[in-house]
């Protein structure tokens, strides 16, 4: 201990107890044998001042933390606790019918996001059917304000609930600085269910490439094609040209390319198979033929001669008769040859009647068009499907406030006038011609059971129509000769729909099924907005598709056992 009393500086002799004899024995490391002098007053004051300064510094910091910055530290301390965060569920993987990946997840490939990004197939022509997603989003503080993937188109949108899964929860321990100390899963995320499509991605891409090449070759604006199993309704292949890259749309980074997509007049986001409506032209003729047989309007073996036109007298102005032209003079023909040659005159007559030959009339034509599914959606599990238009007197009165005329019936019988249909409607209708009269709901899931409607068709009448479609491929003068193949028998119908009075552009169609003897698949192919002088028709393009199938997938050409 030390005292603040004044100390004497002199040390008396009697205060020293030192045995000089043993000085050398002292342990100097333990300070033995040393003389200790008392502390000076100056040293004590120095130490006291130092302690006072330290105390003042501590009091200053306490004042700053509790008074000056107290609110800030209080808010920070309140965040120094256990937070609850969301665990984003992995999205289900999408496969084609052969197990090829079409959409999957990639973890840890971009920035520091805590959820996987979507990756998509590089195969061309699948954008509209696969679709894309928008990702979960965080605010500036790092909190999710959108905790789900959002399907934006195609399969990603239609099957969003199945693919999405269920998000989980986790507890996150955060210190006052905002640093994560630990994470503990409370509810694990449940991944989405995988999806197996009936689509063959390789075949779809091949159709896309063939259509793209044909468009470039003949200056055609766009095209689309699809193939469907006539017994199950499964869509084997589907494509629409031009298409888009799903990954570009999901990422949203390539602004220039997205802008190009949006400004493209060929509408790459439009799935033309189900959301595009087009004038069908002559591919409606088999349904008119069946209706005429079912209503016993004409004997299928009755011969009608096409000289290239029919002339209907005008009772009000005899000098100005109405002339309805064929696309060529067909000569003498029965119903089978009329289908094969695609005679407009024949179908004018059985549709609307002429001279002594009665016609179906617009009401009964309307009945059979709708019976085969035209003018109504197919029920496919994809958004934005259109219904189209089957012209009728009611439709004309509502739209134009005009009465129905005989010429309107004639043009409706050959798929013109106000007729609009989707390729998917026509595909389903032709599948019904192939399978004996069952109208199927198109399916996109592999192995899914399809609902069907039995049209109760007369099989003898149906066979006459089928024979006419086979002759379209095999008969000299048939309009689908490019589909005659030595490796498979095809029944088909071509269609050429004029798009304007100046005859500048047209839609070219090919529809049918194979094998003819035991049908397995129906097909539809559209070449849209082709130059009128173009000689590269849809049947030629479909012939190229069939050649590809023969070379790469001959198993698709075999009849069902």
At residue 247, the pLDDT reads 93
Whether 145 and 138 have beta carbons less than 8 Å apart is answered as yes
pLDDT band per the 50, 70, 90 thresholds, residue 80: low
| Domain spans in the chain, listed from the N-terminal domain onward | 82-196, 201-557
User: Between helices 423-435 and 459-474, what is the axis angle to 10°?
Assistant: 110
Q: What is the pLDDT of residues 502-560, one digit of tens each?
A: 678 899 999 999 999 999 999 999 999 988 877 789 999 999 999 999 999 999 998 87
Residue 292's nearest CA partner among 367, 399, 180, 208 is 367
pTM for the whole thing? 0.83
- What does the radius of gyration of the chain's CA atoms come to, in whole angstroms? 42
At residue 75, the pLDDT reads 61
Helices (H), 475-537: none
pLDDT band per the 50, 70, 90 thresholds, residue 4: very low
Strands 82-87 and 168-174: antiparallel
For 550, what's the count of Cα atoms within 13 Å in the CB-facing half-sphere?
A: 16
At residue 39, the pLDDT reads 65
At residue 533, the pLDDT reads 79
At residue 51, the pLDDT reads 79
At residue 189, the pLDDT reads 85
Question: What average pLDDT does range 422-443 have in this prediction?
Answer: 98
Lowest-confidence segment of 47-61, 256-270, 396-410, 420-434 by average pLDDT: 47-61
At residue 201, the pLDDT reads 98
Residue 349, phi then psi, degrees to nearest 5: -70, -50
Whether 90 and 206 have beta carbons less than 8 Å apart is answered as no
pLDDT higher than 70, residue 229:
yes
Q: What is the pLDDT of residues 312-359, one digit of tens each?
A: 988 888 888 889 999 999 999 999 999 999 999 999 999 999 999 999
What's the chain's length in residues? 561
Left, alpha or beta for 407 (phi > 0: left; psi -120 to 50: alpha)? alpha
At residue 503, the pLDDT reads 74
C-alpha to C-alpha distances, 513 to 48, 151, 173, 239, 470, nearest whole angstrom: 106, 34, 64, 18, 10
Lowest-confidence segment of 42-51, 65-74, 439-448 by average pLDDT: 65-74
CA dihedral (471, 474, 479, 482) positive or negative? positive
Left, alpha or beta for 106 (phi > 0: left; psi -120 to 50: alpha)? beta
Question: What average pLDDT does range 57-82 have in this prediction?
Answer: 66
At residue 2, the pLDDT reads 45
At residue 30, the pLDDT reads 47
pLDDT higher than 70, residue 420:
yes
pLDDT band per the 50, 70, 90 thresholds, residue 241: very high
At residue 41, the pLDDT reads 77
Work out the percent of the chain whose per-residue pLDDT is above 90: 68
Lowest-confidence segment of 85-94, 213-222, 230-239, 284-293 by average pLDDT: 85-94
Question: What average pLDDT does range 130-146 have in this prediction?
Answer: 85
Please state, in angstroms and rounded to a whole number, the distance separating the CA atoms of residues 191 and 503.
55
69 vs 522, higher pLDDT = 522
CA dihedral (305, 308, 313, 319) positive or negative? negative
pLDDT band per the 50, 70, 90 thresholds, residue 169: confident
Q: What is the pLDDT of residues 267-314, one digit of tens each?
A: 999 999 999 999 999 999 999 999 999 999 999 999 999 999 999 988
The distance from CA 401 to its chain's CA centroid, rounded to whole angstroms, is 39
201-557: CATH topology: Beta-lactamase (3.40.710)
**In angstroms, how far is the first alpha carbon of the chain from the final one?**
112
pLDDT band per the 50, 70, 90 thresholds, residue 172: low
At residue 358, the pLDDT reads 95
pLDDT band per the 50, 70, 90 thresholds, residue 143: confident
Please state, in angstroms and rounded to a whole number, the distance separating the CA atoms of residues 52 and 211.
91
DSSP state of 197: B
Mean pLDDT of the chain: 88
At residue 284, the pLDDT reads 98
Question: What average pLDDT does range 185-198 have in this prediction?
Answer: 88
Is the CATH number of domain 82-196 3.90.1310.10? yes
Please state, in angstroms and rounded to a whole number, the distance separating the CA atoms of residues 261 and 245.
10
pLDDT higher than 60, residue 46:
yes
Domains 82-196 and 201-557 share a fold: no
**Token pair in block for residue 208:** 């896309």
At residue 466, the pLDDT reads 98
């Amino acid at each position: 201990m030390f005292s603040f009393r004044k100390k004497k500086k002199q040390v008396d002799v009697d205060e020293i107890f030192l045995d000089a004899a043993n000085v050398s024995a002292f342990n100097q490391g333990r300070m033995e044998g040393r003389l200790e002098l008392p502390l000076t007053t100056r040293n004590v004051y120095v130490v006291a001042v130092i302690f006072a300064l330290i105390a003042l510094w501590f009091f200053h910091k306490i004042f700053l933390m509790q008074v000056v910055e107290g609110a800030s530290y209080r808010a920070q301390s309140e965040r120094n606790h256990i937070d609850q965060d969301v665990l984003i569920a992995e999205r289900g993987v999408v496969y084609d019918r052969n197990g090829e990946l079409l959409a999957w997840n990639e973890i840890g490939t971009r920035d520091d996001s805590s959820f996987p990004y979507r990756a998509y197939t590089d195969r061309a022509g699948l954008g509209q059917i696969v679709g894309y997603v928008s990702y979960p989003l965080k605010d500036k503080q790092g909190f999710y304000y959108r905790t789900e993937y959002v399907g934006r188109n195609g399969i990603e949108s239609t099957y969003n609930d199945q693919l999405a899964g269920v998000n989980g929860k986790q507890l996150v321990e955060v210190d006052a600085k905002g640093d994560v100390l630990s994470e503990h899963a409370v509810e694990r995320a449940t991944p989405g269910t995988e999806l197996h499509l009936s689509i063959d991605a390789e075949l779809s891409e091949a159709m896309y490439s063939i259509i793209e090449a044909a468009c470039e070759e003949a200056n055609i604006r766009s095209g689309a094609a699809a193939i469907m199993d006539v017994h199950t309704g499964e869509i084997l292949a589907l494509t629409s040209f031009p298409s888009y890259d799903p990954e570009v749309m999901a990422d949203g980074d390539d602004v220039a390319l997205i802008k190009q997509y949006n400004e493209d007049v060929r509408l790459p986001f439009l799935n033309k198979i189900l959301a595009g409506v087009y004038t069908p032209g002559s591919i409606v003729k088999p349904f008119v033929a069946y209706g005429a047989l079912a209503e016993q309007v004409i004997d299928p073996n009755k011969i009608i001669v096409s000289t290239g036109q029919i002339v209907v007298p005008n009772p009000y102005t005899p000098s100005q008769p109405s002339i309805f032209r064929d696309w060529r003079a067909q000569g003498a023909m029965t119903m089978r040859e009329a289908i094969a040659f695609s005679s407009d005159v024949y179908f004018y007559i059985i549709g609307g009647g002429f001279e002594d030959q009665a016609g179906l009339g617009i009401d009964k034509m309307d009945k059979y068009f709708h019976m085969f599914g035209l003018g109504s959606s197919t029920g496919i599990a994809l958004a934005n499907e259109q219904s189209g238009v089957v012209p009728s007197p009611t439709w004309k009165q509502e739209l134009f406030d005009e009465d129905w005329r005989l010429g309107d019936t004639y043009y409706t019988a050959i798929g013109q006038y106000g007729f609009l249909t989707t390729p998917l409607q026509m595909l389903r209708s032709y599948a019904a011609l192939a399978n004996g009269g069952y109208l199927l709901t198109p399916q996109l899931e592999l192995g899914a059971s399809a609902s069907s409607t039995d049209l109760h068709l007369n099989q003898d009448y149906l066979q006459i129509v089928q024979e006419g479609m086979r002759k379209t491929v095999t008969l000299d003068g048939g309009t689908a000769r490019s589909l005659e193949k030595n490796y498979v028998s095809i029944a088909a119908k071509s269609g050429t729909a004029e798009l304007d009075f100046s005859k500048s552009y047209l839609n070219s169609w090919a529809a049918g099924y194979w094998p003819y003897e035991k049908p397995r698949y129906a097909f539809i192919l559209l070449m849209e907005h082709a130059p009128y002088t173009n000689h590269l028709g849809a049947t030629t393009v479909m012939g190229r598709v069939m050649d590809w199938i023969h070379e790469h997938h001959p198993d698709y050409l075999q009849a069902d056992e």
